[in-house]
Amino acid sequence: MTVPTVNDYLVQARANRAHAEWLLTERPSDPTAMQWAVTAVFYSALHGLTAYLLARGIIVRSHSARDRALTHPANGVPQNIYDAYHNLDDHGRDARYALVAFTHQEVRDLLDQDLASIATFVGM
């Protein structure tokens, strides 16, 4: 199995963010579209942070391994970045498993706050 490159993960992170933005623009009052937008926001963060870890030689292949790597002090992830990621993870799980409905503004806030912090940190 070939491991994607740092750039591959950053390209995917940007594409996921763009998809969330597209859903907000094209389907702002569709509850299912907003759930998928939240999911795309989470995966944008996940891929961006995976790129960050890979650039440091850390390969993660599961959510739990990624979480451990993000919280390990030697890997240099600030607490506020981990908190933003954890918040997006929680919201993504809510969208996927608890069927929580999100408003356009709630998704916009996730993009403009949590994901924006992560994007700046990882250079997406």
Query: Is residue 97, in this structure, part of any structural domain at all?
Result: yes
What are the helix (H) ranges across the chain? 6-26, 31-55, 63-71, 79-97, 104-109, 116-122
What angle do helix axes 31-55 and 6-26 make, rounded to 10 degrees?
160
Q: Which domain holds residue 44?
A: 6-122
User: Which tens digits make up the pLDDT trace of 34-43?
Assistant: 999 999 999 9
Write down the pLDDT at residue 18: 98
User: Which tens digits make up the pLDDT trace of 27-65?
Assistant: 999 999 999 999 999 999 999 999 999 999 999 999 999
Query: Is residue 1, in this structure, part of any structural domain at all?
Result: no
* Best CA proximity match to 48, nearest among 72, 18, 74, 73: 18
CATH number at 87 reads 1.20.120.330
Write down the pLDDT at residue 3: 78
User: Which tens digits make up the pLDDT trace of 98-117?
Assistant: 999 999 999 999 999 999 99
Write down the pLDDT at residue 28: 95
